[in-house]
Each structure stands twice: as structure tokens, then as C-alpha cells.
């Protein structure tokens, strides 16, 4: 039996979702096996700013493992720089209020 999960990426600005990957769980005699591969939508999304996930850097490769892949939030330096730039813009417009100082644990 095979279980399939499609992975989507949301384009910043337009908020359009692109299907970029396919995660498959296969049942084998030795137990479950997992495969991840990018779909054609990843190539199209790369023209809109999509960058391959850090754990899966090659668009044309099929990744397989006996354990579920770590889909933890990993951030590249470029993505971190963008996040920091956005946060500084948000925080620049934030007005600090001392009334929340005593909200300790």
C-alpha cells in the first residue's frame, strides 16, 4: 500500500500555492520506506522565487529513506536575511508599552 502527500510552497506577495514535491510512504516487507521527489511544479515555482529545501537540494533527484525525512523548519542564510529585514520593518512601526513589563511567568 502506498500513501502520498503532495508538498506545496506559497509564493510570497501573490500568496499563490505551487505543488512542488511528492512524499510517498511505501509498505515493504522490511517495513515502511519513504521517498521524496520534486514534481514539475517545482521547476515552474523556481521562476517565482522557490528555492529547493535545504535537505533536498537537487530538483531532479529522488530521495529515499527507511525513516521519515526531517521536514523541520530549516532556513537558509538568504531566507534568514529576508526574515530579519521584514521583522525590522515591522518592529520599526511597533510602539513599546511598559504596561506589559510585569507579565512574567
pLDDT digit string, tens, across residues 15-74: 889 999 998 988 888 877 889 999 999 999 999 999 998 888 999 999 998 887 765 455
CB atoms within 10 A of CB 79: 12
Q: Full-prediction pTM beyond 0.85?
A: no
Largest CA distance in the chain: 62
Q: Quick count: other Cβ atoms within 10 Å of Cβ 26?
A: 14
* Banded model confidence at residue 100, pLDDT cuts 50, 70, 90: very low
How buried is 21 (Cβ within 10 angstroms: 0-12 exposed, 13-18 middle, 19+ buried)?
buried
Residue 37 to residue 64: CA distance in whole angstroms: 9
Show Cβ contacts of residue 73 under 8 Å, excluding neighbours closer than 6 positions: none
Comparing 32 with 86, which gets the higher pLDDT? 32
Amino acid at each position: 500500500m502506498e500513501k502520498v502527500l503532495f508538498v506545496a510552497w506559497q509564493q510570497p506577495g501573490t500568496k499563490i500555492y505551487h505543488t512542488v514535491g511528492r512524499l510517498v510512504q511505501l509498505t515493504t516487507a522490511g517495513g515502511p520506506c519513504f521517498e521524496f521527489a520534486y514534481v514539475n511544479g517545482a521547476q515552474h515555482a523556481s521562476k517565482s522565487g522557490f528555492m529547493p529545501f535545504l535537505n533536498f537540494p537537487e530538483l531532479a533527484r529522488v530521495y529515499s529513506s527507511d525513516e521519515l525525512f526531517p521536514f523541520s523548519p530549516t532556513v537558509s542564510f538568504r531566507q534568514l536575511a529576508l526574515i530579519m529585514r521584514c521583522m525590522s520593518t515591522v518592529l520599526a512601526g511597533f510602539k513599546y508599552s511598559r504596561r506589559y513589563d510585569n507579565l512574567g511567568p
